Amino acid sequence: MLPSPFAVPAPISRFLRFSAPFVVMMLCLWVLHIRVELPPMQALAGLISQISALHWLGALLATGISFWALGRYDLVAHRHIGTGFDSSSVRGAGMVAIALSQTVGFGLIIGSLARWRLLPGLRPLQAAQVTGFVAVTFLAALAAICAMVSFTLPVSA
């Protein structure tokens, strides 16, 4: 069989595989820099220092409560799907999976991979089912809340 004229040697392929995400990141940062006017770093430190300690504490407390709730949410998803997992490791995996997927993006893929890797014995299909359950029920609840708010608040002109 003849080699493809488009075949890339292994060392170059490996280099491209590892460098391509950094190139894309730099391109995205460059586009962001052009489109969004950010304050200088010195001004940013001043803006952050204007936030009171009480507000920082409140934000940390709200974040902690939110992650605790997300962990419980994963536990409910596992029970509903019937994976057989029912422990604190499920809550921890759920918190990590949601944090990673929200930070990195690709929520359904990253969330499924994180749950699968963090819970030994969980099959990939089960991890995807839990992730899908969490995503769909979260969006359904968000839609219901938005609908209630839309019906109760006046329309602005």
Distance CA 108, CA 120 (A): 19
Residue 145 and residue 69 share a domain: yes
User: Would 1 be classed as within a structural domain?
Assistant: no
Residue whose C-alpha is closest to residue 109's, from 78, 134, 136, 131? 131
Residue 75 and residue 29 share a domain: no
Is the pLDDT assigned to residue 9 strictly greater than 60? yes
User: pLDDT class for 8, splitting at 50, 70, 90?
Assistant: low
User: Would 92 be classed as within a structural domain?
Assistant: yes
Domain count of the fold of the chain: 2
Domain containing 17 equals 10-34
pTM (2 decimals)?
0.67
* DSSP alpha helix (H) spans, the chain: 10-35, 41-49, 53-81, 88-104, 107-118, 124-152
- Give whole-number Cα distances, 60 to 52, 64, 72, 98, in Å: 13, 6, 18, 17
User: Would 51 be classed as within a structural domain?
Assistant: no
Residue 91 and residue 143 share a domain: yes
Q: What is the pLDDT of residues 26-58, one digit of tens each?
A: 998 888 888 888 778 788 888 888 999 999 999
